[in-house]
Amino acid sequence: MIKVPVIIIRHPKERLSKCSLEPLRERSGFTFYRVKPGFKFDAGGHILLAMDAPPLSPTDAGRPLILLDSTWRRLPQLETCLGGEPVRRSLPAGIKTAYPRVSKVFADPLGGLASVEALYVAKKILGDDDPTLLDDYRWKEEFLKNLPPGI
């Protein structure tokens, strides 16, 4: 099994109490950053999950994975801390979140997933299938049950 290193860059206003990635903080292979003024990260050669990008595939294996942990509304602001040229990739269409969305102010994009859902799918595609990533995720069973075949 390929072990995919993961870098999580979190917006400073992201609430840790609601963060689906927080239970992974002490795991080997994960590096967490909380953005502060002046923070920059050289993302050159890293995979950056993005909605408007070519699909992620097993041929992308061997690169570290960056997850930007933020609300959808703050994501463009968070992306400005990245330097270099990340390899932008999207997740396959048809994956539905199990996370109950409740925003009455901002609409989430179609295909938007909870961070831990996106992480699980990306690592699986890259050859690092680890369902234990979802162990502390309240909607784990529903999410796995509804994954399209072949994911």
Instruction: Report pLDDT digits (tens) over 76-109.
Output: 888 999 999 999 999 998 888 876 655 544 454 4
Running DSSP on this structure, what letter comes out for residue 56? P
Do residues 70 and 106 lie in contact, with contact meaning Cβ atoms separated by under 8 Å?
Answer: no
Phi, psi of 118 (to 5 degrees): -60, -40
In this structure, the number of other CB atoms found within 10 A of the CB of residue 111 comes to 15
More confident residue, 71 or 37: 37
Cβ-based neighbours of 60, under 8 Å, separated by 6 or more = 47, 87, 89, 125, 126
Per mean pLDDT, which range of 5-14, 51-60, 87-96 is the poorest?
5-14
Do residues 34 and 19 lie in contact, with contact meaning Cβ atoms separated by under 8 Å?
Answer: no
Could you give the CA distance from residue 138 to residue 99 in angstroms, rounded to a whole number? 9
**Which pTM value belongs to this model?**
0.87
How do the domains of the chain map onto residue ranges? 6-145
Running DSSP on this structure, what letter comes out for residue 77? H
Q: Which amino acid is at 5?
A: P
